[in-house]
């Protein structure tokens, strides 16, 4: 049996039929076709499927699709503004903070939540914010560096009133 | 013909060696990069595998009738739906190859199961829920057999034998009885036992290493489609589209002309995605239900027998030195736990552990042992970290006995260019002495280790990995606007497309942005071996240098015709041919192609095979603090020195080193498979199998040394494997220096560290 669910994802309203057993991750990937959010474990241990749920980072595999109505979901597809990358994305590109790329979307969203709450994070703040996102390729150096660089770039832009 | 392109190193590089972003970085940070799990084809259905709940059993029968009858189920397969393959039918993969009976057994058990999680049947259904429900309706009747859970049980005289047709290779006379010891390798020179017995000082250590997992974040996944002509297309997460194609074709009895493997982005491989895991099963299901089939492993499946983890090990090492600190003997016994099917030869890991020391007496003996655990696969320098955990601790213990600084000891005994490798051939150019000098000059070695709440120590360990070359192919077509369009035959695991675009840009003298580069599928580019053995950047560079020269040769002939000059009178630089005399005519590649596109395609081709090896050498220094109340080890500082020949892209090289070290630290301190006596994995989740998070590891500092490999384009060495080799030994040596106790079990979890501390106290009391 399918259920009709209406929700807002990346600022767009979607109405889709879901299986009551579907997770938010399945809703995003299989019903709406937003495949940028990846599944690494399906039980909340790897952080690969991190999305923002009303601004809070959550594992989309731990949220039921039926819980989505009434909430604002931000996925990796909604982070860049058209061709203009978010400072976090730009820094990951420039520093080399993405390798196989499978964990990258989740890390971008964890970092986005961090910088929204704390524009001047310390290295420990950054490591804590992404501690729920496993990365097997980078050893985290360049991810941490990129988030620090993005924070600095954002602060500079704000200081200059841009 | 020495005109095109300029010989490497003849001029400063403009693109190669630069810290440039990956060509595909934007797709990765925006979620646009396509992995096989992201594919959805019209009419696509979903497959699930039924896996053995037993570690060792005979399959008496499989009844699939009830599953087939479930509405929504489209097809069910078992081993009976695949040809039975004989032992010894090999798929080429470098020097070793894959025996197809084993590849088939990894994908579908026949008659017997050898580990928990081995597939026994598969279902395709309209949706995943129905496929899962159908699995529960398949009735498999098993006759359980005694479980052989570990090496010690496997090699006991009365052990149940896993495979009736496996006789120990490498012993004379040929054994009459089958054995769980699949092969034995001996590498020896001089008389190591005698030298050990008589030397001034010696150290011995026995270590055991738990099975660990490569830990790629993307589980195994495949989408298969079969068209009306019976032509199959497989979209896979694979390290080698050609190896996968050969394996799938053989397992199905399908002509290779009827099959194409398309490698999409790979969410990590590290050695675990060379063999196929489900690809052929998905094709068979697609043939049967005439619809595209998608098969995605769950994380639990990946960990609980659905993929090959890395080999556990039992290793004993003895080393001895003269009073002046000269190493006189190395003796090692390496027993590797291959899991349920024969594994890799232990030869390479044995050699790796001893290669960096000049030593007159050597005896290395290795055994490949089967147990009722998942068939293991390669993991980044396979066996290197296990062997180094033993050898580099033994060397460190010997230094302590001798009262010699461990760096000084390595300097006195280090292999240099021309030293004999364990197998007796001389080393080509290596930069180990340079590395050791760099360690000596670095603050990571000279800074005080500092005082903390608990004891601290500093450890040093070396690492060696031989790597391999095999074959790589590429071609370059020149577009109508003169730009090089590059197709490579190897999968991109480590930023290959980016570094290779740099190489082509350098050879053509054009900006890297002008290069389009793609990975070909198994029907659109020449045969290339898989991305493994630190071989791709080196061999693909060689193939591309050849392909660039080939394309430029063709372009030169065209340019000569257009400019009406002899081709020798032209110089090529920066994307244009120019007459050599001052003020002479010139034609850019864009003008040339616009003027001559309809005269025929320009395709440059390049193949690399039997390229000289680019052996990898590193030295790692690490500081730890050991909480003697809990056994928790904190890594405070970590520095990795590595000779990379030439860094094609320093950011990519650092990325390989940093990631590899952190994988090593994970195995050193956190990661180990916890098997019950029944052969069932008790920690088959990423919560209980703990890989390092950003909070578990410090910043990893990399120091890059460049000693070019002779007779190799750009002098490139392998990079990605060796940095995982030293970390466990470096940490163990730091622990020993901190608390005076050696931890001989890996991972060195808090309880094991505490156990070692209490054991030492007990012995002292």
pLDDT per residue as tens digits for the range B617-657: 999 999 999 999 999 999 999 999 999 999 999 999 999 99
How confident is the model at residue B4, as a pLDDT?
37
Confirm if B527 and B489 have CB atoms less than 8 A apart: yes
A134 and A111 within one domain: yes
Q: Could you tell me the two tokens for B146?
A: 């005694």
pLDDT per residue as tens digits for the range B362-415: 999 999 999 999 999 999 999 999 999 999 999 999 999 999 999 999 999 999
The Cα-based distances of B478 to B180, B473, B510, B512, B713 in angstroms read 55, 17, 13, 15, 22
Nearest-angstrom CA–CA distance, B104 and B101: 5
Q: Is B13 exposed, middle or buried (0-12, 13-18, 19+ CB in 10 A)?
A: middle
CATH number at residue A107: 1.10.150.120
Give strand pairing partners of B125: B46, B73
pLDDT per residue as tens digits for the range B235-288: 999 999 999 999 999 999 999 999 999 999 999 999 999 999 999 999 999 999
SS3 B382: coil
Nearest-angstrom CA–CA distance, B485 and B476: 5
**CB-closest option in A30, A38, A100 to B266:** A100
**CB-closest option in B38, B216, B659 to A35:** B38
Nearest-angstrom CA–CA distance, B660 and A137: 7
Q: Please tell me which residue, B350 or B2, carries the higher pLDDT value.
A: B350
Contacts of A98 in chain B (CB under 8 A): 22, 25, 28-29
Please check the confidence at residue B5 and state whether its pLDDT lies above 60.
no
- Beta-carbon pairs below 8 A across chains A and B: 175
Nearest-angstrom CA–CA distance, B709 and B715: 4
Q: How confident is the model at residue A158 (pLDDT cuts 50, 70, 90)?
A: confident
Q: How confident is the model at residue A161 (pLDDT cuts 50, 70, 90)?
A: low
Q: What is the DSSP string of B456-475?
A: EEEEEEEEEE-----EEEEE
- Averaged pLDDT, B442-452: 97
Strands B700-705 and B633-643: what pairing?
parallel
How confident is the model at residue B10, as a pLDDT?
53
Look at the block and give the residue holding tokens 């790897």.
A46
**CB-closest option in A46, A76, A108 to B217:** A46
Asked whether the beta carbons of residue B28 and residue A75 sit closer than 8 angstroms, the reply is no
Nearest-angstrom CA–CA distance, B263 and A100: 14
Q: What is the ipTM of this complex?
A: 0.98
Nearest-angstrom CA–CA distance, B697 and B659: 11
CB atoms within 10 A of CB B257: 9
Nearest-angstrom CA–CA distance, B690 and A148: 26
A157 and A102 within one domain: yes
Considering just the CA atoms, what is the radius of gyration of chain A in Å?
A: 16
Q: How many domains does chain A have?
A: 2
Asked whether the beta carbons of residue A45 and residue B686 sit closer than 8 angstroms, the reply is yes
CB atoms within 10 A of CB B500: 26
Contacts of B267 in chain A (CB under 8 A): 38, 40, 100-102
A57 and A103 within one domain: no
Distance from CA of A101 to the nearest CA of B (A): 5
In degrees and rounded to multiples of 5, residue B109 shows phi and psi of -70, 145
User: Which of A29, A58, A78 is the last residue before a domain boundary?
Assistant: A78
Q: What angle do CA B752, B758, B760 make, to 5 degrees?
A: 105
A69 and A47 within one domain: yes
How confident is the model at residue B93, as a pLDDT?
75
How confident is the model at residue A41, as a pLDDT?
98
A27 and A93 within one domain: no
Q: What is the DSSP string of B745-763?
A: EES--HHHHHHHHHHHHHH
Asked whether the beta carbons of residue B699 and residue A104 sit closer than 8 angstroms, the reply is no
**CB-closest option in B19, B32, B268 to A102:** B268
Look at the block and give the residue holding tokens 């840009």.
B505
Mean pLDDT of chain B: 96
Asked whether the beta carbons of residue B697 and residue A139 sit closer than 8 angstroms, the reply is yes
Distance from CA of A107 to the nearest CA of B (A): 9
pLDDT per residue as tens digits for the range B681-701: 999 999 999 999 999 999 999
How confident is the model at residue B11, as a pLDDT?
63
Contacts of B217 in chain A (CB under 8 A): 38, 40, 46, 48, 100, 102-103, 134-136
A91 and A74 within one domain: no
Nearest-angstrom CA–CA distance, B640 and B701: 6
Q: What is the DSSP string of B211-273?
A: -B----SS--EEEEEE-TTS-EEEEE--S-HHHHHHHHHHHHT--GGGEEEEE---S--TTTT
Q: Is B204 exposed, middle or buried (0-12, 13-18, 19+ CB in 10 A)?
A: middle
Look at the block and give the residue holding tokens 């959010």.
A37
- The residue range of the domain holding A125 is 87-161
The Cα-based distances of B394 to A150, B155, B316, B398 in angstroms read 45, 25, 9, 6
Torsion angle (degrees, nearest 10) of CA B733, B734, B738, B740: 0
CATH number at residue A69: 3.10.20.30
How confident is the model at residue B584, as a pLDDT?
87
The alpha helices in B5-127, defined as continuous H runs, are: 25-30, 65-69, 100-107
SS3 B188: strand
A95 and A138 within one domain: yes
pLDDT per residue as tens digits for the range B125-152: 999 999 999 999 999 999 999 999 999 9
Count of alpha carbons within 13 angstroms of residue B510, beta-carbon side = 22
Task: Locate the chain A residue with the closest alpha carbon to B684.
Answer: A41
Asked whether the beta carbons of residue B30 and residue A79 sit closer than 8 angstroms, the reply is yes
Task: Locate the chain B residue with the closest alpha carbon to A89.
Answer: B29
A67 and A14 within one domain: yes
Contacts of B652 in chain A (CB under 8 A): 96
Q: Could you tell me the two tokens for B231?
A: 């032509």
Contacts of A136 in chain B (CB under 8 A): 214-217, 268, 270, 659, 663, 691
Nearest-angstrom CA–CA distance, B499 and B503: 6
Distance from CA of B301 to the nearest CA of A (A): 10
As a residue count, chain B comes to 765
Task: Locate the chain B residue with the closest alpha carbon to A22.
Answer: B129
Contacts of A143 in chain B (CB under 8 A): 694
Q: What percent of chain B has pLDDT over 70?
A: 98
Asked whether the beta carbons of residue B30 and residue A21 sit closer than 8 angstroms, the reply is no
How confident is the model at residue B512, as a pLDDT?
97
Please check the confidence at residue B729 and state whether its pLDDT lies above 70.
yes
pLDDT per residue as tens digits for the range B521-554: 999 999 999 999 999 999 999 999 999 999 999 9
How confident is the model at residue B583, as a pLDDT?
83
A71 and A93 within one domain: no
Closest CA to B353 of B433, B463, B435: B463
Query: Count H helices, E strands: chain B?
Result: 20, 29
In degrees and rounded to multiples of 5, residue B563 shows phi and psi of -90, -5
Torsion angle (degrees, nearest 10) of CA B393, B395, B397, B401: 180
SS3 B413: helix
A142 and A113 within one domain: yes
Q: Is B599 exposed, middle or buried (0-12, 13-18, 19+ CB in 10 A)?
A: exposed
How confident is the model at residue B253, as a pLDDT?
97
Please check the confidence at residue A129 and state whether its pLDDT lies above 50.
yes
Asked whether the beta carbons of residue B29 and residue A108 sit closer than 8 angstroms, the reply is yes
DSSP character for A49? T
Distance from CA of B718 to the nearest CA of A (A): 17
Best residue of B22, B28, B666 to probe chain A, by most A CBs closer than 10 Å: B28
A142 and A106 within one domain: yes
A17 and A63 within one domain: yes
Asked whether the beta carbons of residue B694 and residue A140 sit closer than 8 angstroms, the reply is yes
Confirm if B579 and B563 have CB atoms less than 8 A apart: yes
Asked whether the beta carbons of residue A92 and residue B697 sit closer than 8 angstroms, the reply is no
Distance from CA of B749 to the nearest CA of A (A): 20
CB atoms within 10 A of CB B498: 23
Distance from CA of B468 to the nearest CA of A (A): 21
Mean pLDDT of chain A: 96
Nearest-angstrom CA–CA distance, A61 and A42: 5
Asked whether the beta carbons of residue A134 and residue B654 sit closer than 8 angstroms, the reply is no
SS3 B113: strand
Asked whether the beta carbons of residue B270 and residue A136 sit closer than 8 angstroms, the reply is yes
DSSP helix, strand, coil percent of chain A (3-state; round to 5): 40, 20, 40
Nearest-angstrom CA–CA distance, B591 and B603: 17
User: Which of A78, A110, A143 is the last residue before a domain boundary?
Assistant: A78
User: Which of A78, A108, A125 is the last residue before a domain boundary?
Assistant: A78
Please check the confidence at residue B2 and state whether its pLDDT lies above 50.
no
Can you give B707-722 as a three-state secondary structure string? Answer: CCCCCCHHHCCCCCCH
pLDDT per residue as tens digits for the range B10-68: 568 999 999 999 999 999 999 999 999 999 999 999 999 999 999 999 999 999 999 99
Q: How confident is the model at residue B8 (pLDDT cuts 50, 70, 90)?
A: very low
**CB-closest option in B215, B661, B700 to A136:** B215
Question: CA end-to-end span of chain A, whole Å?
Answer: 51
The Cα-based distances of A105 to A42, A51, A97, B35, B109 in angstroms read 16, 8, 12, 13, 37
């Amino acid at each position: 049996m399918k259920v009709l669910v209406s929700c807002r994802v990346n600022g767009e309203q979607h109405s889709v039929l879901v299986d009551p057993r579907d997770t938010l991750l399945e809703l995003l990937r299989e019903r709406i076709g937003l495949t940028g959010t990846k599944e690494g474990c399906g039980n909340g241990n790897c952080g690969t499927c991190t999305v923002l749920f009303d601004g809070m980072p959550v594992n989309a595999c731990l949220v039921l699709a039926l819980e989505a109505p009434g909430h604002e979901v931000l996925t990796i597809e909604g982070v860049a503004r058209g061709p203009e990358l978010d400072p976090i994305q730009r820094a990951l590109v420039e520093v080399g903070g993405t390798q196989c790329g499978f964990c990258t979307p989740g890390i971008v969203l964890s970092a986005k939540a961090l910088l929204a709450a704390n524009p001047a994070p310390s290295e420990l703040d950054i490591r804590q914010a992404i501690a729920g996102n496993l990365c097997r390729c980078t050893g985290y150096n360049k991810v941490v560096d990129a988030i620090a660089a993005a924070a600095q770039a954002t602060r500079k832009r704000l200081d200059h009133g841009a | 013909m020495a005109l095109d392109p300029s010989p490497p190193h003849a001029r400063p590089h403009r693109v190669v060696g630069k810290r440039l972003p990956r060509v595909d970085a934007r797709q990765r940070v925006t979620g646009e990069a396509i992995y096989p799990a992201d594919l959805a084809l019209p009419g696509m259905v979903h497959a699930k595998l039924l896996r053995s709940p037993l570690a060792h059993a005979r399959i008496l029968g499989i009844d699939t009738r009830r599953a087939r009858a479930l509405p929504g189920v489209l097809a069910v397969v078992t081993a009976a739906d695949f040809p039975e393959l004989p032992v010894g039918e090999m798929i080429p993969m470098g020097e070793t190859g894959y025996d197809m009976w084993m590849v088939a057994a990894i994908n579908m058990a026949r008659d017997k199961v050898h580990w928990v999680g081995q597939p026994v049947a598969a279902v395709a259904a309209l949706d995943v829920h129905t496929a899962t429900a159908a699995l529960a309706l398949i009735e498999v009747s098993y006759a359980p057999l005694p479980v052989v859970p570990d090496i010690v049980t496997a090699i006991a005289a009365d052990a149940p034998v896993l495979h009736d047709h496996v006789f120990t290779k490498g012993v004379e006379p040929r054994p009459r009885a089958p054995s769980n010891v699949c092969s034995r390798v001996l590498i020896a020179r001089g008389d190591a036992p005698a030298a050990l017995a008589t030397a001034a000082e010696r150290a011995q250590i026995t270590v055991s290493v738990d099975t660990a997992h490569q830990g790629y974040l993307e589980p195994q996944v495949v989408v298969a489609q079969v068209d009306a002509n019976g032509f199959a297309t497989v979209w896979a997460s694979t390290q080698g589209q050609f190896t996968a194609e050969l394996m799938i074709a053989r397992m199905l009895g399908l002509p290779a002309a009827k099959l194409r493997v398309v490698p999409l982005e790979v969410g990590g491989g590290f050695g675990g995605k060379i063999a196929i895991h489900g690809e052929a099963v998905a094709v068979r299901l697609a043939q049967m239900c005439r619809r595209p089939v998608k098969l995605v492993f769950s994380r639990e499946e990946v960990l609980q027998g659905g993929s090959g983890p890395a080999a556990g090990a039992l290793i004993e090492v003895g080393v001895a030195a003269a009073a002046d600190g000269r190493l006189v003997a190395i003796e090692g016994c390496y027993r590797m736990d291959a899991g349920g099917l024969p594994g890799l030869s232990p030869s390479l890991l044995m050699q790796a552990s001893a290669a960096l020391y000049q030593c007159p007496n050597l005896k290395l003996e290795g055994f490949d042992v089967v147990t009722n655990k998942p068939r293991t696969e390669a993991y980044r320098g396979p066996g290197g970290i296990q062997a180094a955990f033993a050898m580099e601790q033994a060397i460190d213990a010997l230094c302590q006995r001798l009262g010699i600084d461990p760096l000084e000891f390595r300097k006195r005994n280090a292999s240099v260019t021309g030293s004999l490798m364990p197998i007796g051939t001389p080393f080509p150019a290596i930069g180990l002495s340079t590395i050791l000098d760099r360690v000596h000059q670095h603050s990571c070695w000279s800074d005080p280790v500092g005082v903390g709440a608990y004891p601290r120590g500093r450890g040093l360990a070396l690492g060696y990995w031989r790597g391999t070359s095999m074959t790589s192919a590429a071609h370059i077509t020149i577009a109508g606007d003169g730009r090089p369009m590059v197709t490579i035959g190897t999968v991109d695991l480590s930023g290959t497309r980016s570094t290779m675009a740099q190489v082509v840009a350098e050879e053509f003298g054009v900006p890297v942005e002008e290069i389009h580069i793609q990975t070909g599928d198994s029907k659109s580019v020449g045969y290339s071996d898989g991305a493994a053995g630190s071989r791709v950047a080196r061999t693909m560079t060689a193939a591309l240098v050849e392909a660039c020269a080939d394309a430029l040769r063709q372009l030169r002939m065209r340019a000569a015709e257009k400019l009406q000059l002899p081709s020798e009178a032209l110089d090529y630089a920066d994307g244009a041919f120019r007459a050599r005399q001052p003020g002479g005519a010139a034609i850019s590649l864009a003008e040339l192609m616009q003027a001559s596109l309809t005269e025929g395609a320009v395709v440059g081709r390049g193949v690399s095979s039997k390229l000289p090896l680019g052996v990898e050498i590193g030295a790692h220094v690490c500081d730890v603090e050991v909480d003697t109340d809990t056994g928790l080890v904190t890594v405070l500082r970590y520095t990795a020195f590595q000779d990379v020949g030439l860094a094609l892209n320093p950011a990519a090289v650092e990325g390989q080193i940093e990631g590899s070290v952190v994988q090593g630290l994970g195995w050193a301190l956190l990661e180990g498979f916890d098997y019950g006596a029944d052969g069932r994995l008790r920690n088959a989740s990423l919560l209980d199998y703990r890989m390092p998070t950003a909070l578990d590891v410090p910043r990893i500092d990399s120091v890059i040394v460049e000693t070019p490999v002779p007779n190799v384009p750009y002098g490139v060495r392998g990079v990605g494997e060796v940095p995982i080799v030293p970390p466990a030994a470096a940490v163990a040596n730091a622990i020993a220096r901190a608390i005076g106790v050696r931890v001989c079990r890996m991972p060195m979890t808090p309880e094991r560290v505490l156990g070692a501390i209490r054991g030492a106290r007990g012995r002292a009391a």
